[in-house]
Amino acid sequence: MIIAGLLMIIKKYGVLSVFAGTFLEGELVLVTAAILAGDGLINPVSVWMSASLGAWAGHVFWFSIGRMFGSRYILPGFKGLRPRVEEVNRIILKHPKTAIFILQYLYGMRIIGAMGLGITDLSFARFMFYEALNCMLWALVVFTAGYILGETFIHILHGWLRWVWLGLSLLVLVLFFRHLKLFLHSKIEKGR
């Protein structure tokens, strides 16, 4: 039932669902869209562009949240981290491109990383520029991997088995978002 609903959403909204999915942690959304693009259901360039833009917009949003609320609301709850935050701030200011790049590819760290970067003294313009380049590269790498993987499996499985592959991909996507929801909920509960 859930898989059928997701399939309908992807078919109906296409790259808008890619944008929304990559606004958050979007690797599985992008891989699934890449597989669909490989099968001719979505335009590959549109998938790449919407994934790049969605990831970038999400990172800018979370960076802004960190910038606006981090020092006032997030850091006071973690007083023991203050010296480490200051050290991380120095490292990030010394190597901003490296910090932004690394946080993009650490699975599960994109939202937290962007908020953390927002708490530092890294300039907003500098973050936006490096993050735009990084998101385009990330989307290209993940899309290409998903496209090739999907094409390979579609050629191997042929016919109705490709729908099984699509269903399994969507199931993994649903399980990922469920896990993410539970993970974030547990982090919120631990923070209280």
CA dihedral 184, 60, 99, 80 (to 10 degrees): -50
CA 61 from centre of chain = 12
For residue 124, give the nearest of 86, 70, 67 by alpha carbon.
67
Q: How many whole angstroms separate alpha carbon 188 and alpha carbon 192?
A: 7
Q: What is the pTM of this model?
A: 0.70
pLDDT, tens digit, for every residue of 115-161?
888 888 888 999 999 999 999 999 999 999 888 887 776 666 666 66
CA 130 – CA 93 distance, rounded (Å)? 13
Provide the domain limits for residue 185. Answer: 2-120+127-191
Domain count, the chain: 1
